[in-house]
Structure 1
């Protein structure tokens, strides 16, 4: 049966906490004036002594407010345990804070009856949140499907590029040599004079040709003076070796 008292003696709290309310008369008849002998007087209920000491320790440490002969108890004052009491609100607060996994029914039974109940407002709020989350999840799935399709398309395009690159062969040494020979031959007939001493073109030497190329094709990448000088020199060497 749920106790509806507003204040309790610590031993009353302990016996209710231990579910020994049916033995309250037997226990209280001797325990009020012998609270320190509970373990010897009732060895069959060791938890009664443990819970009683738990409560007294909380009172003496100031964690659980208590009253002594109508006045608020001060731990540093002299007292007789028989006249200590604790009020229900203080008791509930202390137990809920320090022993949330060991709530006695005589203090919290009404709360336990409704612990699983959910108000209509809370239910509607949770339902709204779930629906919003479901919509957001659907949007994420749609975005993921679009991104996946785009990625698959890019993979196909990349593979096509790789396939085309595989078809391209690097120029062979013979091919490179032929290019240098052609360049060297063009330089030989485009600059300076022929072996017979005749002027062959308007470009008197290789430097003039390089300068003209740089002037006319200044914006073409790769046609720098350094690159042209190096390639032309290589072409002349190749042509000389071939001759």
Structure 2
């Protein structure tokens, strides 16, 4: 008989102990033959030869050991009562959910197909379905966080691109207008500061380098000779000369 179509391999709400042992041992295709040997009992008589199915007796003994010690809830016709008098009753049954929970707890490496689906059977014994569900939930949360971070990054990158283009446009406009850049302006200020130092300074022997006695006289002379030129005004000259002196001192 094909095991996938045998009675014990079909999902049930509750099982007789012998049916559960047969399915656990992977012997569902021999179920009719095994039930005949059991002679209506839940366990095999000691003289019954099932040596060619060694796992069957082990599975049966494990289930009954759990029943006797009340590790595995049991009842009659699917109704749980845990009445010890039912242990030899023909209608003794174990609910599917109790059998699965008991096996997952005490035999985590045992995951027979009549109790566990394909996904559960492929899980590592140390990993529970609840743990997997928690990991999936965490993963979905992390995906949402990542999507938010990516969106924020895209917005920042767009701002960066806009600022870069604006900066480049200003530099191009400055070139067209003849406005010096930061490095060029520093050079010009240093030159102007050096010339002012010479104009107002003296030689090592104390002889003045020029006839200008102070900065005010330099400003007055420039305004008098070149006052019509752009930028040649007292206010502008004082500002530029002060900046030049600061740059040269720095």
The higher-RCO structure (CA 8 Å, 6+ apart) is 1
TM tier relative to shorter chain: 0.3 to 0.5
- State the TM-score, normalizing by the size of structure 1: 0.45
* TM-score (norm: length of structure 2): 0.44
